[in-house]
Structure 1
Amino acid sequence: MGRKSNKGKEKKKRRKEEQAKLAASFTLVEAANKQEDPMATMAPFKKYERNGLNLDIECKKVAELDKDTVDWAFSITKNNMQTLYEESNWGWNDRLKKEELTEDKAWFLVARDQEGQPTAFSHFRFDMDEEEEVLYCYEIQLMKTARRKGLGKFMMQILQLLANKAQMLKVMVTVFKMNTESRDFFLKALKFELDETDPGLCDPMEADEYCYEILSKKTVLGAKKQQEGNHCCSGGPHNHPQCC
């Protein structure tokens, strides 16, 4: 019986390396979700005192939030988003949205006024997306009285810092194409870009059939790894493997 080919050995080695990388990614996500208070070392970001707002900001798992806050989060999400959902091909479903907001992995960033009443929130998760460790922002919703005062941008900055701290590779969001205000907020104000997993990029011939876009912004670690990957590939940036 002859020796195993070098090609077979290399393939086996690559498979082991990929498995080890994936296991390391899951470990990072698990560690991020085990945090008691992700903002414990971020005291300056626990207050927002600008443009007539005086708010305290907290970060908690959904299981640690009181029922009134969770109910309020659902209510403001429904008020702000139901029409957009109904105009899309997704449709609105109370039960599914409540389940999404209260899923075990859900984290909440909540801004409260001096009476303790919630003014804004973000629902996010530390998770895996296409074998990459990410912070995925599911919602960022503000009361009308708190809009256009820098609060939304400040809260997204906190999420970016939390993603950096937990060694995630990027922050991701999904936006409706018709929601031009939200798209401008992420693309222009926050400098997000179309993610490589965006359906319009992966399926350009049918791009108009999708009512949403997937946007992302690299963390410090994510940008570093992307740069290292580009340097080792003589043909320029890597192709989008998810689209192939």
Structure 2
Amino acid sequence: MDFHNADHSSANSKKLSSKEKKLKRREELAKKKAVDEAIKAAYLKDDHLADFPAFHIYDRNGLLVHLKSGSGEHLSSPMKRYIQELLKVNMEGVYGPQWAAEEKIKRREMVSREALYIFVQSLQSAQLDSINNREAMHKCYWTGNGDPVVAFVHYRFIVEEEIPVVYVYELQLEQCVQGRGLGKFLMQLIELIARKNNMRAVMLTVQKRNTSAMNFYTSKLRYTVSNISPSRVDPLIGAEKSYEILCKTFAHEAKTKLEEDGCSGAN
């Protein structure tokens, strides 16, 4: 046996292995940089709604509203109160005893500089009074140009499992405008915003007790339970958790990391 050649071959193998590691590391860094730049570029835009003029007005099913963009760090005091009120009306029952602690978290989240909003304002305020009894609509705080806000979406651009995504923190509608296609319209807009800004998926968290919301996302919008959701990571742990993480992916890598079996990770 030629030990010299064997040693030389071994050295080349180690050198090749080292080169491969450096190359892989370089690729990983380049990929991370691209993801970070995509998130940064998305946040540099002042108004994501401006890219989609067809979504500025919703006039269907007896509902006439207009949409506008906003940000957490520029919320007016009336708008903050409005969001807090609507969240409490819609979510206190779903969270049950956990609501007191959850409400504090949501209040901090809603004013973060990373928080982006789509606000929905009614163009038929007089009609709202005539076609709905007052029990169906909690007290609205009048904001902006005087049109009452009847729904909002709070979303952010973040990274999940090395994938740039739009995460929907809140989608909240007044009871009087529910069931008219507005929620689906808003989620379609969010998905367009995600694609336009090179995000690879839309994700959100739903409380298990909120069966109507779960059905809305999974049946009507075809979202799936993500493999980073507790129930997919570990069924035993998932059984103890009160929520599921849902997703809709737009790219193969996102589907592999966020939807398919065998690639689970912690959230």
TM-score > 0.5 by shorter chain: yes
Show structure 1 runs of 5+ residues with no match: 231-236
Preserved CA contact (<8 Å) 2:205 2:243: yes
Distance in 2, matches of 1:93 and 1:241, equals 26
Bigger shift: residues 193-202 or 57-66: 57-66
Per the TM alignment, residue 86 of structure 1 is displaced from its structure 2 partner at its CA by 2.5
Match of 1:149 in 2: 180
Partner of 2:141: none
- Amino acid of the structure 2 residue aligned with 1:113: S
1:61-109 Cα offsets, whole Å, 9 max, x none, are: 2233332122201210111112222355x75344322101111100011
Alpha carbons of 1:28 and 1:226: their partners in 2 closer, same or farther (altered >3 Å)?
closer
Classify 1:226/1:30 alpha carbon distance in 2 versus 1 (closer, same or farther; 3 Å): closer
Q: Give the whole-Å Cα distance in 2 for the aligned partners of 1:198 and 1:43.
A: 34
d(CA) in 2 for partners of 1:96, 1:241: 26
Answer yes or no: is 1:47 the counterpart of 2:70: no
Indicate whether 1:191 and 2:222 are aligned: yes
Quick one: distance in 1 between partners of 2:177 and 2:29?
A: 46
In 2, the alpha carbon distance for the partners of 1:80 and 1:187 equals 20
Asked if 1:129 is matched to 2:152, the reply is no
Q: 1:204 aligns with which of 210, 215, 235?
A: 235
The secondary structure found in structure 2 opposite 1:154 is helix
Q: 1:107 aligns with which of 106, 113, 116?
A: 116
Of 8, 12, 20, 1:10 maps to: 20
Map of 1:98 onto structure 2: 107
Distance in structure 2 (CA, Å) of the matches to 1:61 and 1:167: 20
Q: Deviations over 1:218-238 (max 9, x none)?
A: 13xx25x458x79xxxxxx67
Structure 1 residues 5-63: Cα deviation after superposition (integer angstroms, max 9, x where no partner):
32222122112211110111011001101101112121110100011111001122223
2: CA distance between counterparts of 1:40 and 1:63?
Answer: 20
Q: Distance in 2 between matches of 1:108 and 1:140?
A: 10
* Alignment gaps of 5+ in structure 2: 1-7, 124-145
User: Alignment partner of 1:111: what SS?
Assistant: strand
Question: Paired residue for 1:169, among 197, 200, 203?
Answer: 200
Q: TM-score scaled by structure 2?
A: 0.80
Contact 1:111 1:119 in 2 (8 A): yes
Q: Deviations over 1:189-235 (max 9, x none)?
A: 1000011211111112332111110000013xx25x458x79xxxxx
Is 1:239 the counterpart of 2:258? The answer is no
The CA RMSD measured in Å over matched residues stands at 2.2
Match runs of 1:4-43 below 5 Å: 4-43=14-53
Q: Distance in 1 between matches of 2:237 and 2:214?
A: 20
- AA partner of residue 211 (structure 2): T
In the aligned structure 2, how far is the partner of 1:137 from the partner of 1:149?
Answer: 20
> Which runs of structure 1 show a deviation greater than 3 angstroms over 4 or more consecutive aligned residues?
1-4, 90-94
Q: Which whole-Å CA distance do the structure 1 matches of 2:213 and 2:103 have between them?
A: 22
**Partner secondary structure for residue 113 of structure 2:** coil
Q: Which residue of 1 aligns with 2:246?
A: 215
The residue aligned with 1:74 is 84
Aligned residue for 1:233? none
Question: Could you tell me which amino acid in structure 2 is paired with residue 110 of structure 1?
Answer: F
User: Which structure has the greater CA radius of gyration?
Assistant: 2
2:56·2:67 contact (CA, 8 Å) conserved in 1?
yes
Alpha-carbon distance in 2 for matches of 1:152, 1:194: 19
**Bigger fraction of residues in helix:** 2
1:178 and 2:187 aligned: no
- Go from structure 1 to structure 2 and tell me whether the alpha carbon gap of 1:154 and 1:81 turns closer, same or farther (over 3 Å shift): same
TM-score when normalising by structure 1: 0.88
Paired letter, 2:15: S
